[in-house]
């Protein structure tokens, strides 16, 4: 074996042995998400991917990705944690702003009815930032503890909704007792993406 070839093979072996790896990521319904995300200097890990299914016909609406500091399968532990997280919704179909607002309202009502009076103005702010979403576009929600939830609509930052209480209640839409569909909650908690 030539010296140059041997050196390349040794270098390749050392690279792989050092734990360096290519970003693999995970896929759901043809949408890929990386294994890790950086949020305000915190390295977050992809906890899971879930598919939002609507109506009795199980219409595919979006793929959701949840990033946490460390993986978790217990929804109560995730909701009780005051750690950074990122929730990404990548749409598989066009959805109107009115439909999004209706979904938020329903989700808050089902999962946080007692907290609605304290959240009313902040929910109104969230709703005011919603726009029609087209296939392939993303909504991104980044929770920074002590600050709140930064909302981005297809890459455009709309602003930050203050309060860790809002962040927990918002995430409860998907991880609470009454998620939009059971499959999305299971997927976000590390189960398979339907």
Phi, psi of 137 (to 5 degrees): -80, 160
Check if the beta carbon of residue 32 is closer than 8 Å to that of residue 158: no
The residues that bridge with 39 in the sheet, in sequence order, are: 42
* 109 confidence band (pLDDT: 50, 70, 90): very high
Assess whether pLDDT exceeds 90 at residue 7: no
d(Cα 73, Cα 172) in Å, to the nearest integer?
14
Q: Side-chain half-sphere of 164: how many Cα atoms within 13 Å?
A: 11
| 14: pLDDT strictly greater than 80 | no
Is 10 domain-assigned?
no
In this structure, is residue 89 part of a structural domain? yes
pTM, two decimals, is 0.86
Is 4 part of any domain?
Answer: no
Query: What is the pLDDT, as a whole number, of residue 95?
Result: 97
Question: What is the rounded CA–CA span in Å between residue 112 and residue 105?
Answer: 10
Instruction: Mean pLDDT check: name the lowest of 37-46, 60-69, 127-136.
Output: 37-46
Instruction: Determine the average pLDDT of the residues in 100-126.
Output: 94
For residue 194, what pLDDT is reported? Answer: 75
Examine residue 54 and state whether it is found in any structural domain, yes or no.
yes
Q: Could you tell me the residue range of the domain that residue 161 belongs to? A: 23-188
> Which CA distances in Å does 10 have to 4, 16, 101, 132, 162?
10, 10, 57, 53, 52
Residue 17 lies in a domain: no
Residue 110's domain is classified under what CATH number? 3.50.70.10
- Max distance between CA atoms of the chain, in angstroms, equals 74
Q: What pLDDT, on the 0 to 100 scale, is given for residue 40?
A: 82
Residue 9 has a pLDDT of 37
Average pLDDT over residues 89-116: 95
Mean pLDDT of 173-192: 96
Task: Confirm whether 12 is domain-assigned.
Answer: no
Whether 68 contacts 82, CB under 8 Å: no
Q: Has residue 148 got a pLDDT over 70? A: yes
Q: What is the pLDDT of residue 3?
A: 46
What is the count of structural domains for the chain? Answer: 1
Q: Is residue 178 in a domain?
A: yes
Q: Is residue 3 domain-resident?
A: no
């Amino acid at each position: 074996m030539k010296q140059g070839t041997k050196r390349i093979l040794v270098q390749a072996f050392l690279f792989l042995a050092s734990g360096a790896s290519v970003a693999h990521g995970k896929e759901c319904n043809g949408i890929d998400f990386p294994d890790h995300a950086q949020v305000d200097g915190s390295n977050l890990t992809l906890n899971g991917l879930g598919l939002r299914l609507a109506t009795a016909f199980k219409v595919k609406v979006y793929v959701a990705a949840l990033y946490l500091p460390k993986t978790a399968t217990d929804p109560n532990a995730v909701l009780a944690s005051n750690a950074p997280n990122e929730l990404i919704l990548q749409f598989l179909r066009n959805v109107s702003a009115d439909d999004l607002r209706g979904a938020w309202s329903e989700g808050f009502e089902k999962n946080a009815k007692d907290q609605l009076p304290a959240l009313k103005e902040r929910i109104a702010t969230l709703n005011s930032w919603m726009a029609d979403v087209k296939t392939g576009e993303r909504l991104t929600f980044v929770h920074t503890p002590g600050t709140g939830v930064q909302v981005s609509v297809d890459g455009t930052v709309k602003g930050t909704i203050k309060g860790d209480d809002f962040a927990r209640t918002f995430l409860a839409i998907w991880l609470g007792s009454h998620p939009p569909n059971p499959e999305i909650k299971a997927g976000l908690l590390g189960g398979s993406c339907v």
